[in-house]
Amino acid sequence: MVDLQVNGFAGHDVNGDDPRGAVHEITAALARIGVTSWVPTVITAPEERIVAAVRAVATAREESPEVAAAVPFVHVEGPFLSVQDGARGVHDPAHVRDLDADEVARWCAAGPVGIVTVSPHTPDAAAHVARVVALGVQVAIGHTHATPAQVRDAVRAGANLSTHLGNGVATTLPRHPNVLWAQLAEDALTCGLIADGHHLPADTLQAMLRAKGPGRAFLVSDATALAGLPPGRYATPVGGEVELTAEGRLSPVGSDLLAGAARSLADGLRHVLAETSTTLAEAVDLVSFVPARIARLALPLAIGSPADLLLLGPDGSVHEVRRGGRLIP
């Protein structure tokens, strides 16, 4: 499985004070549950902090062949997002800023940046999107209040992904047109969906998967460091003080908003099989082949490519994990 949006896992946080150590630990912890490739996701922060996190991922890749094989690049989610409540989610408004391709170029000088999530609502957004794409960085649309026309302009400029479609959007919208329909209808956008059972109701997930069709949707965990930890209140860089329920729902204390997720991509695979009409073969595409293509990884079933293989049960449960041909205990 390939997870394109991981903020943290098993108590380790990419956005914490030791991103290099977190990348090593998360690589090992995710492999054990069948996620053999993953993309560290750095959220809205001052430029120095984003650069330091990107540099830390580059260092971790140099230190370990396992990390180099598992982590293709960094996903920077922010800081060029909507400041409007709802669309912004829990990103820190003090550090949200207008889309700036020059800043993206400075991140790229520090290490491998593969995806940046932006809100294309500013008048010069499309020009910046084109410049970011020219750097070799894929542009995802997310946390946005952009108009449908601004979405189309961003796609014409080269944006090719939607970040966790259906989340990071105003809580109420005009019935149509709106930013969801614009992205669902746009075949050039492949969309990430959080299938943790809390971010999208099952009928929404089902409808979005049908709307995008084969090859144009993938699942992400959006997991935070709290994934896999006991219920309770925690302090975290992703949104300050948050509460994790026994059902795996994570929200800022005193709010109905969601503060990232606390379930893994392996949980997402089982959820999509249990709650939608997705077949096992289609579900494997959603967690493996589609995100692998976006991560520019060698497709797993080609002769000569790394043997990252899973043995799955019919319900999506993981029975055996091989990474690079070796069994993970």
Shortest CB 77 distance to Zn ion, Å: 5
Tokens of 168: 């990071």
Q: For Zn ion, which is the closer residue by CB, 120 or 168?
A: 168
Shortest CB 294 distance to Zn ion, Å: 17
Question: Per the annotation, does 176 bind a ligand?
Answer: no
- Cβ density class 240-273: b for 16+ within 10 Å, e for less: eebbbeeebbbbbeeeebbbbbbbbbbbbbbbbb
Give the footprint of Zn ion on this chain (CB under 5 A): 168
Question: Per the annotation, does 271 bind a ligand?
Answer: no
One-letter amino acid of 41: T
Question: Per the annotation, does 167 bind a ligand?
Answer: yes
Q: For Zn ion, which is the closer residue by CB, 19 or 168?
A: 168
Active site residue 222: yes
Q: For Zn ion, which is the closer residue by CB, 43 or 310?
A: 43
Which position among 222, 267, 285, 308 bears the catalytic label? Answer: 222
Nearest Cα to 284, choosing from 296, 305, 301, 298?
301
Q: For Zn ion, which is the closer residue by CB, 56 or 87?
A: 87
Shortest CB 164 distance to Zn ion, Å: 6
Question: Per the annotation, does 20 bind a ligand?
Answer: no
Question: Per the annotation, does 260 bind a ligand?
Answer: yes
Q: For Zn ion, which is the closer residue by CB, 111 or 168?
A: 168
Shortest CB 89 distance to Zn ion, Å: 5
Shortest CB 139 distance to Zn ion, Å: 15
**For the packed helices 148-156 and 125-134, what is the interaxial angle rounded to 10 degrees?**
30
Q: For Zn ion, which is the closer residue by CB, 58 or 226?
A: 226
Question: Per the annotation, does 143 bind a ligand?
Answer: yes
Nearest residue by C-beta to Zn ion?
168
Shortest CB 327 distance to Zn ion, Å: 34
Question: Per the annotation, does 258 bind a ligand?
Answer: yes
Residues at the annotated binding site for Zn(2+)? 77, 143, 164
Residues at the annotated binding site for substrate? 90, 167-168, 175, 199, 258-260
Residues at the annotated binding site? 77, 90, 143, 164, 167-168, 175, 199, 258-260
Active site positions, annotated: 222
